[in-house]
Amino acid sequence: MKNTAVELVGITKAFGENTVLRGIDLELHAGQVTVLMGANGAGKSTLVKVLCGVHPANAGTIKLYGEAFSPLTPSEAIRSGVVTVHQSINDGVIPDLDVASNLMLDHLAKPGSGFFLNKKKNYAEARKIAAAMALDVDVRQLVSELDLADRQLVAIARAMAHKPKLLILDEPTSSLSATEAKRLFVLLDRLRDSGVAILYISHRMSDIRRISDRIVSMRDGKISGVFEESPLDYEGAVRAMLGHSMTDANIQIQEPGTPIMQMKDIVLQEGATAFSLDLHANEVVAITGLVGSGKSGLANVLFGLSKPHSGEMTLKGAPYNPRSQGQAISAGVFLCPKDRATNAVVQDFDITKNITLPFLARHSLFSFLNFGSEHVTAQNTIADLGIICQSDTDEIGSLSGGNQQKVMVGRWLVEESDLLVLDEPFQGVDIKARRDIGEKIRKTATARATAVMVSEMDEALEIADRIIVMNDQTIVGDHRNENIDLRLVLTQVVGQLNNATGNDEHAN
Amino acid sequence: MNMQTDNLKTTRPKRTATEIAIRYGFLALMVGLVIFFSVTTEGFASPYSAVFIFQSVAITGILALGVTATLVVDGFDLSIGSTATSALMLSAYVLVVLEMNAFVAVAACLVMGALVGLINGILIVKFRVPDLLATLGMMFLLIGLQRIPTQGRSIATGMTLPDGRVAEGTFSKAFLALGRHRFDFFIDNLIPVSVIVLLVVGLLVWVFMELTRHGRLMYAIGSNSRAASLAGTNVNRYKVLAYMISGVLASVGGILLAARLGRGDIASGNNLLLDSVAAALIGFAVLGAAKPNAFGTIIGALFIGILLQGLTMMNAPYYTQDFVKGAVLVVALVFTFALSKRGGAH
């Protein structure tokens, strides 16, 4: 039985001349997870912002269980029962307070809740909330000491304290590992059973397969497809969102050229198993593994951000021991870091300045900048990667996530490198931008070695000639991306965890 | 995608009224003030009055340019005022007590300024002391240090030293010229050295920050130091450099002050810190920059100078000055943060 929790009719929203939502009609049902898919710029974040009271709609009506609902502020939306958990986890929790205080925060902030803290009562109440949510943490622990998944669960538990009618989750798994995400899904299952309507925004196919009861695709500010018959038509949903099918990601596997980076007997951490790895020219290597498997550690070692515990590296035959990022770059090793907002985007700079940042010396004579040469480089990058913008002097913040990521990747493609390391280049990027970036990386890979750290298997299959699996700080699998045995790869990814749960199938 | 690039030039969005107000509002306000005072106050619209305004803000302006350099890398230098007064005392000590020449005095002050900046920078990047605290500590340290050699007294020719000697040295003519010489500019003896120094330093800082890659990297550090570092920038080195620029400019200000006063006055320079910080922050609002910038800093200093000069000529009492400065600063900050692009979310 479908019980309509939220009904949107003809929602329109424009920012100046830019119409972002063009008449959205949508129903969300109680006790159901509706996944909202859409490329960047399709309007899904704007739709969420209309629902949670950040932006008012220009036209159209929203009904919440039959009652008109048009929140003017986020707190009004929360009071009416529409609660949103945003993508960045720390927006939902206060790291320096303990779990109990976080869970009780909204209660404490309520007027008339007493002047003095009653710690004992707080802890007891918080434990009750935690237990109701099957949250297995010590409520006296500081949130900053929790891992990301637990923080995310605390944020959701906090949201649940409002007894929401509609819970909106904006890419909740974007910084979680697969096992962490699993715990989140278990919680979402319970919430769904309790009758909450859930709107779940994600780019991750694996999440969508796991959690969705219904998929709504958005494209160009309109609903382009609603899929609710079981089994769900995932490919149809992707097609509705992109306007074309997913199958054109087929890649031509290249033969590896000469070895560029040779890593011998590398031990990442004390006690870890040594491994050796050669990265060749004309080869895109995807390095995959769970969070904590050592793939970030490997990226850091390659870029001189940390030193391996032991082992040797040679770059084109010469010993390579970079002591700083600057040295790595001048040796010809570039890193496009993960988490672009914290590690890559210079928010105060326009597109051009963001693109030319690492290689300003190329654009200057006696330290004086040549703005003309910067402009040319920026124009080329914009055209090459299909960055959608008004001009190369647009603020970087005015671009959608996918286009920002194109700028960040483009920044490192401007100069020729011997080894290009891309750490999670598809994080928070829509499928269209992901294809563009992947294609560009493959197209330019002829003369250099390329290593791409990815946690999503789809992404690895889409970009790599060779897939390397890491687990427990070492390499446990090495596959050519042709007729690949996905089950074997996945067993290697899971590795130890499999053993711990009593499964005696060994990875290798 | 070619279409996109072809259209780049033509599809630039038009500026809205608010954007124009943010961009030119502050400059328009300044022009308005000048016109208002010129019409209402006799003698305001004269070259002498203009020079007086410049002269009154020259030293704070130079210090404010130093603050700007540290603000660019997302730092802050609270020690500039005391660095300037230390330079004032040091130059007097070198000239009067050690009886050396002007060149040595100037060189000693510049070296001291650079050293103070270096120590500030090292405290911040190596010992990870937060910038406000490190430079606050340095401020106290310098205020105390400058009093030790003379047991807390001002330095002037003929004073008795702690060991009973009488100081025989004098402020040499060459040194005093830095504070008192005026260059001819259409009118004889019009423009003081300090104004020239302000304009030259302002131009140098502007060129460095806007036209060189070092300035660009410093702005990158100020916006996202982690991104700058991962792009291969030596973040620590640039931060130290910013504090050294600040220290050197503060000591330049101190030298000019000493040359103007002609003695090592222990009590002068009290307002330097607040005035120069105000000028640098007002600079955020100029041309809608919403970031520290050399041009804005100088305009900010001038704005205060014009306002105070005009009000003084209209017989406003001297004790209202700090209030006026504070009010200007608050209005400028509202301009910067409430009205600029940072306010309007997408």
Alpha-carbon distance A41 to A432, whole Å? Answer: 11
**B294 Ramachandran zone, left/alpha/beta (phi>0; psi -120 to 50):** alpha
Please tell me whether residues A452 and A421 are part of one structural domain.
yes
Residue B27: both structure tokens together: 């400059």
Q: What is the mean pLDDT of residues A441-447?
A: 92
Do A259 and A312 have their domain in common? yes
Task: Give the three-class secondary structure for B299.
Answer: helix
Distance CA B272, CA B80 (A): 8
Half-sphere exposure of A287 (CA within 13 A, CB side): 28
CA B134 distance to own-chain centroid: 19
A41 and A88 co-located in one domain = yes
Whether A429 contacts A438, CB under 8 Å? no
Q: Is residue A507 part of a domain?
A: no
Q: Which of A369, A375, A412, A437 to mutate to test the interface with B (most CBs of B within 10 A)?
A: A369
Specify the pLDDT at position A242.
Answer: 65
d(CA A217, CA A224): 5
Residues A133-190 pLDDT 10s: 777 788 888 888 887 778 878 888 887 777 788 999 888 877 677 777 887 888 889 8
Residue A506 has pLDDT above 50, yes or no: no
A196 and A254 belong to one structural domain: no
Is residue A20 domain-shared with residue A35, that is, in the same domain? yes
Counted domains in chain A: 2
CB B158 within 8 A of CB B263: no
Structure confidence at residue A291 (pLDDT):
64
Three-class DSSP category at A471:
strand
Rounded average pLDDT over A44-71: 88
Average pLDDT over residues B173-202: 90
pLDDT, one tens digit per residue, over B51-69 is 999 999 999 999 999 999 9
On average, the pLDDT of chain A sits at 84
- pLDDT of A504 higher than 80: no
Q: Does residue A114 belong to any structural domain of this protein?
A: yes
d(CA B122, CA B77): 13
Whole-number Å distance between alpha carbons of A90 and A158 = 13
pLDDT digits (tens, 9 = 90+) for B248-275: 999 999 999 999 998 888 888 778 999 9
Whether residues A33 and A53 share a domain: the answer is: yes
The per-residue pLDDT for A153 is 81
* Range of weakest confidence among A173-177, A338-342, B209-213, B243-247: A173-177
d(CA A258, CA A267): 24
CA distance linking residue A316 with residue B330, whole number of Å: 58
Q: Would residue A60 be called left, alpha or beta, if left means φ above 0 and alpha means ψ between -120 and 50 degrees?
A: left
Residue corresponding to tokens 């870029």: A303
In the structure, how many helices (H) and strands (E) does chain A have? 18, 22
DSSP E strand stretches across chain B: 182-185, 187-192
Share of residues in chain A with pLDDT > 70 (%) = 90
| Token pair of B39 as six digits | 């019409």
Residue ranges and CATH numbers for the domains of chain B are: 23-34+44-339 (1.10.3470)
Top pLDDT among A173 and A307 is at A307
Reference B208, options B262, B244, B172, B232; nearest CA is: B244
Does A269 map to a domain?
Answer: yes
End position of a domain, from candidates A246, A265, A300: A246
Write out the residue range of the structural domain in which residue A369 sits.
Answer: 250-500
Q: Is residue A506 assigned to a domain?
A: no
Residue B36 or residue A248, greater confidence: B36
Nearest to A86 by CA among A450, A428, A377: A428
The CATH number that applies at residue A348 is 3.40.50.300
Determine the distance in angstroms separating the CA of A368 from the nearest CA of chain B, rounded to an integer.
4
Q: Among A493-507, B199-213, B261-275, name the one with the lowest average pLDDT.
A: A493-507
Residues of chain B with C-beta less than 8 angstroms from the C-beta of A353: 216, 220
In a domain, residue A508? The reply is no
The 3-class secondary structure across B72-134, one letter per residue, is: HCCCCCCCHHHHHHHHHHHHHHHHHHCCCCHHHHHHHHHHHHHHHHHHHHHHHHCCCCCHHHH
A255 and A128 within one domain? no
- Residue A104 has which token pair? 């009780």
Check whether A501 has a pLDDT greater than 90. no
Nearest to A59 by CA among A70, A49, A48, A67: A70
pLDDT value at residue A246: 46
> Which of residues B310 and B248 earns the better pLDDT score?
B248
Q: Where are the beta strands (DSSP E) in A309-389?
A: 310-315, 318-319, 333-336, 364-365, 368-369
Interface of B with A in 12-51 (CB under 8 A): 12-13
Interface test with A, best of B4, B237, B293, B340 (most A CBs within 10 A): B4
Backbone φ, ψ for residue A379 (5° rounding): -60, -45
Q: How many other CB atoms sit within 10 Å of the CB of residue B180?
A: 14
| Contact (CB, 8 A) for A214 and A35 | yes
Residues 139-198 of A with CB under 8 A from B: none
The H or E element containing residue B220 is helix B213-223
Q: Where are the beta strands (DSSP E) in A228-365?
A: 259-267, 275-280, 283-288, 310-315, 318-319, 333-336, 364-365
Statement to judge: residues A192 and A276 lie in one domain: no
What's the confidence (pLDDT) of residue A112?
66
- In this prediction, residues B209-213 reach a mean pLDDT of 95
Quote the pLDDT of residue B4.
40
Distance CA A154, CA A146 (A): 10
Choose the final residue of a domain: A213, A246, A279. A246
Same domain, A188 and A284: no
Does residue A227 share a domain with residue A276? no
Between A301-315, A386-400, B210-224, the lowest mean confidence (pLDDT) is in A386-400
In this prediction, residues A354-365 reach a mean pLDDT of 93
Most A-contacting residue of B11, B224, B238, B241 (CB-CB within 10 A), to test interface: B224
By Cβ distance, the residue of A349, A390, A397 closest to B13 is A390
pLDDT at B3 over 60: no
In a domain? residue A505: no
A 326-355 → B contacts, CB under 8 A = 326, 328-330, 335, 337, 342-349, 353
Tell me which of A80-94, A345-359, B162-176, B234-248 is least confident.
Answer: A80-94
In a domain, residue A335? The reply is: yes
Q: What is the ipTM of this complex?
A: 0.85
pLDDT digit string (tens) for A226-281? 998 878 887 777 777 766 544 445 778 888 899 999 999 999 988 889 999 999 99
Distances (CA, A) of A33 to A81, A166, A183: 16, 10, 16
DSSP type of residue A147: -
According to the model, what pLDDT value does residue B343 have? 38
Whole-number average pLDDT of chain B: 88
Whether residues A349 and B214 touch (CB distance < 8 A) is answered with: no
Q: What are phi and psi of B149, to 5 degrees?
A: -60, -30
- Give SS3 for A256: coil
Q: Check whether residue A383 and residue A485 sit in a common domain.
A: yes
**If pLDDT is split at 50, 70 and 90, which confidence band does B150 have?**
confident
pLDDT of residue B126: 95
Specify whether the CB–CB gap between B71 and B307 falls below 8 A.
Answer: no
Last residue of a domain, one of A246, A262, A294: A246
Rounded to a whole number of angstroms, the distance from the CA of B126 to the nearest CA of chain A is 16
pLDDT of B169 strictly over 50: yes
With H, G, I as helix, E, B as strand and everything else as coil, classify residue A419. Answer: strand
A388 and A456 in a single domain? The answer is yes
Q: Which whole number is the average pLDDT over B151-169?
A: 86
pLDDT tens, position by position, A378-437:
999 999 999 988 889 988 988 888 899 999 999 999 999 999 999 989 877 877 888 889
Question: Would the pLDDT of A92 be above 80?
Answer: no
